Amino acid sequence: MLNKVKAYIDKEKLLNKQKLYLVGLSGGTDSVSLLLILQQLGYRIEAAHCNFNLRGEESIRDEQFCIDLCSKLNIKLHIIHFDTMSYAELHKVSIEMAARELRYKYFTDLSRDIDAEGVCIAHHRDDSVETVFLNLVRGTGLKGLQGIRPKNGNIIRPLLNCQRSELEDYLTGQGESYITDSSNLKDDVKRNKLRINILPQLREINPSIDKTIARMSQNIIEAGRIINASISGILPSLLQGQAEQVAFFTHILYNVEQNASPEQRPKLAIFDKEVIKAFPSSEYLLFFLLQPFRFNSVQIQEVNASLDVHSGKSWTSDGYELVLDRDALILSATDGMQKGKTMKFPETGKYVFSDALTISIEEKTIDKSFIIPKSRQQIAVDADNINFPITCRTVTTGDRFIPFGMNGSKLVSDYLTDIKLNLIDKRSQLVLVDASERIVWVLGLRSDNRFKITPETKRAILISLQA
């Protein structure tokens, strides 16, 4: 067993004997085997046990077993208690998902605190086979058929080439005891039903089904590497000038099991439509790009079918909007957006319109020292020609203004199209209007010619934007 695991660790380049590793320890067959094997192979390890407080006396028993085991092996043990039920209710997730999220966050935080190189988890080949079948039942793409990976970010799985029965035999040979989680013996959740009822029948049909699935998963992993290399190669052209977005998609490309958290996902991404269409499978590329933002497969199929349609079509997910523009697909966050917000400014002063925008309005006397601002973040208008209150709002259909330096009026929407503003920016474009509903300024872009400073102007209103 030791030689088998060592060969797998070396083959996958999983561990370094000069580094410290954290081992997730539940007290069951798998994690006890992992702890013993890594210690016997000479790796520097510490253990971590999570008490989810879900099984009453059994949870207490499991914790004490881990304490006793680590004391006997002289391995440092870290223990944490979770109120898993409350977490699941608060975040509206299943108990299984709550436990998983709590466990992995704790492991990650603890490994950072103790300066560990990674977290070793005791998943084995049976777990990977079960995962493949579960993904098939739920519906999956290529990634779901790859099973569990030996390494994903800081999570390391040195036992993936071992079967559960082999680990049980190993512990018997070592004379080492372990505990059994009674919840694993009940066929009341999908994974248990698969393990207890379905896989044994499949093994009757094909005794080598586990090896067959493992081999298939490895073949798909190899094919996935080719696809990933292809996607990685086009990301710079797909996301021209968007370094943060390229880094994000590169990360999720090579961390297949991690779901991007809301904090990790970029607020805006603009995809070049022609690059998508030129990719050998535009639908597969779109799935890779949009699935992390919670767009479903039906929506992604619709997006793919609409790539040649005129601009304006849009789709929404939980927290994001995707808009089809002329030459691009524009993805933007909708969480926290204040759609249709307006604010009135009754007099001069400083006004906080949003977290990202403060508008300052002050009066200036025109004298020899006065200089008309040239910045896009500031304008000067004739104070005697503007009527308070001034209102800040988004552009609406039919808005017209006379662009500075021109005589005839123009629809604001046409002006924004002329300067090639994308649809997302058009929808969020702000304007200032005076009490007579005349547009004073298309914010950050162009002021209205009717309010310009002339030789007869005595007083100016200086309006400035501050981020």
Of 226, 262, 211, 250, the C-alpha closest to 142 is 226
What confidence score (pLDDT) does residue 262 get? 62
Beta strands in 260-377 (DSSP E): 268-272, 314-317, 320-324, 328-333, 343-345, 349-354, 357-365
What confidence score (pLDDT) does residue 138 get? 80
What confidence score (pLDDT) does residue 340 get? 65
Domains of the chain: 2-212 (3.40.50.620), 216-333 (1.20.59), 343-466 (3.50.40.10)
Segments of the chain scoring below 50 in pLDDT: 185, 336-338
Altogether, the residues listed in the chain come to a count of: 467
What confidence score (pLDDT) does residue 81 get? 95
Number of other residues whose CB lies within 10 A of the CB of residue 384: 12
DSSP assigned state of 255: -
What confidence score (pLDDT) does residue 258 get? 54
Beta strands in 69-207 (DSSP E): 77-81, 118-120, 151-152, 155-156
What is the rounded distance in angstroms from the CA atom of residue 422 to the CA atom of residue 327? Answer: 9
What confidence score (pLDDT) does residue 18 get? 94
pTM: 0.64
Start-to-end C-alpha separation, the chain: 61
DSSP assigned state of 260: P
What confidence score (pLDDT) does residue 337 get? 47
